[in-house]
Amino acid sequence: MDNTTKPSVQIRKKPLGLRIKNNLGFYLMFLPVLVFVVVIYYWPMLGIRFSFFSSKMVRGGGLEWTFVGLKHFETMFKAPEFWTAFKNTLIISIVKLLLNTFAAVVISIFLNEMTSMFCKKAVQTIIYLPHFMSYAVVAAIFTLFLSTSSSGMINETLKSWGWIKESIDFMHTSKLWRPVFYIVNLWKETGWGTVIFFATLSGISPELYEAAEIDGATRLQKMRYVTLPALANTIIIVLILNVAKVLNIFEPVFVMYNNRVFDVSDVISTYIYRKTFMTAVPDYGFSTAVGLFKSLVGCALMLGSNFASKKIRGRGII
C-alpha cells in the first residue's frame, strides 16, 4: 500500500489585468457608484484635519488656519455646556428609542389581532400619515395647540374643564419640554415603526395559533406565548441598529427647542450648530473637533452593537 501523500492541486488564478478585462463591463457599471461614494462619503472626511487647527477671519473675507494640536478637545472636555449637551443627547435619544419601539410593538400586535381587513387598513393609513410630514410642520402644529394664548387648544380645554386656572407654558418649561417632545415623536414616528414589526407578525405561521387554540390558550395567552416570542428577535435587531444612531438626533430637537430649555433640550448636533452659525466669531476648528468626537462615539456604539448582536443572535450586523 502506497502511503505517500499526493500533492494538493494548486488552482492558479488568472492575472488581475486579465480578470479586469474579462469583467470590464461590470467594472464600468460600478464606476459611477464608486465615484459617488468617494466624493459624497469619503472626500469630506478629509475635513477632520481641521479639528487640530484654529480659524480666524482675515481681510478679504478669507480664513486663516493655525495649528493648535489638541487644544479644541481640551476646551471641549472642560466646557460644561458640552457635557450637558452630551448627557441630553443620550437621555433624549435612548428614551425616544425605547418609547417608540414599545409603542410600535403594541400597535403592531393590536393591528394583527384585528379581524376586519377594512379597519386594519384604515388604522394603518391613519397612523402612517404623520411620518410623511416634516418636523417643521409638526412643531408648528403642536406649538399652536400648546400655546398659552387664546388659540392654544390644550390650555383652553383644560381651563374649561376646571383643571387649571393659568395657562401652562409647555414649550418653555424645562420640566415639561421632554415629555412634550416624546409625545410629539410618538405621534409622528410610531406608525412608521410598526412596518417592520407588522411584517414579522404577518410571517407567523397560522398553524402555531391553531395549535395554541387546540391546547386551550386564550387570546391573551396566544399573544404572550406565540406572538411576542416571534417578535423578540426583530425587537432586538431594531434596538441594536438604532443604538448606533443615538447621537445623530438633530432636526426633531432643533425645530422645538429654545434658549429657555437648553438645560434639558440642547444636544450635540444643536450645540455644534450654535457654535458654528450663532456666534459672532465662529471657530470652525472647534466645531469640527466636537463633530469628530461625536463620530468616534457613534463608531464605538456601532462596534458595541455589533458585538451585542453576535452574542445575542450569533451573527453581527456589519
What percentage of residues in the chain have a pLDDT greater than 90? 23
**CATH number, position 165:** 1.10.3720.10
Query: Which regions of the chain does DSSP assign to beta strands (E)?
Result: 53-57, 63-67
Asked if residue 222 is part of any domain, the answer here is no
The rounded mean pLDDT for the chain is: 85
Q: By the 8 A CB rule, do 130 and 187 touch?
A: yes
> Distance between CA 203 and CA 275 in Å, rounded?
49
Identify whether 180 is part of a domain: yes
The parent domain of residue 113 ranges over 80-205+231-313
Please indicate, yes or no, if residue 35 is contained in any of the structural domains: no
pLDDT in tens, 176-209: 999 999 999 999 988 888 888 888 888 888 888 8
Q: 276 in a domain, yes or no? A: yes
pLDDT band at 21 (very low <50, low <70, confident <90, very high): confident
- Cell 469640527 -> residue: 288
Close Cβ partners of 239 (under 8 Å, ≥ 6 residues apart): 97, 101
Q: Is residue 6 part of a domain?
A: no
* In-domain check, residue 66: no
Reported as a single tens digit per residue, the pLDDT across 132-191 is: 889 999 999 998 898 888 778 888 888 888 888 888 888 888 899 999 999 999 999 888
Asked if the structure places residue 254 within a domain, the reply is: yes
Which pLDDT belongs to residue 1?
47
DSSP class of residue 9? Answer: P
pLDDT of 121 strictly over 90? no
| 318 CB burial (10 A radius; 0-12, 13-18, 19+) | exposed
Domain for residue 211, yes or no? Answer: no
Global confidence as pTM: 0.81
